[in-house]
């Protein structure tokens, strides 16, 4: 029971840091966050968010998630794909000071 709880805390912490790094434009974090959303690991499964983060990652010529991004596009409604692509075009990285919330 304790091991499960500590594993969930570690996963939540990882997702938190992936999110922060992804928002700052880090391609590897965008890829990993997209994977988390696609699989529902540490976050609620959300294919549109997975597609969004993998799209941003691909815009940086990092093609690790390209195959999964293509598969997600087939699973999502065409209007969701179009809206997500539009959001990715206008997306800009943000910078902010953060502290680890899980201490």
Query: DSSP labels for 6-58?
Result: HHHHHHHHHHHHHHHHHHTT-HHHHHHHHHHHHHTSSS---HHHHHHHHHHHH
Banded model confidence at residue 29, pLDDT cuts 50, 70, 90: very high
- Rounded to the nearest 10°, the torsion over CA 34, 36, 40, 41 is 180
Domain extent at residue 57: 2-90
In tens, the pLDDT along 34-87 reads: 999 999 999 999 999 999 999 999 998 888 889 999 999 999 999 999 999 999
Confidence of residue 97 (pLDDT cuts 50, 70, 90): low
Residue 95 covered by a domain: no
| CA-to-CA dists, residue 61 to 55, 74, 92, angstroms | 10, 21, 16
Model-level pTM?
0.85
In a domain, 63, yes or no: yes
Report yes or no on 7 lying in a domain.
yes
Query: Looking at residue 69, what is its pLDDT?
Result: 95
Q: How many domains does the chain have?
A: 1
Asked whether residue 98 is assigned to any structural domain, the reply reads no
Note whether residue 103 is domain-resident.
no
| Count of all residues that appear for the chain in the document | 103
């Amino acid at each position: 029971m304790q091991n499960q709880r500590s594993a969930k805390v570690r996963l939540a912490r990882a997702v938190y840091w992936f999110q922060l790094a992804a928002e700052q434009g880090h391609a590897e974090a965008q890829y990993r966050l997209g994977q988390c959303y696609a699989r529902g690991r540490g976050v609620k499964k959300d294919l549109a968010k997975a597609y969004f983060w993998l799209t941003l990652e691909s815009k940086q010529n990092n093609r690790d998630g390209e195959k999964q991004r293509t598969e997600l596009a087939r699973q999502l409604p065409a209007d969701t794909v179009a809206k997500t692509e539009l959001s990715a075009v206008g997306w800009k990285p943000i910078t902010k000071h953060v502290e680890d919330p899980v201490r």
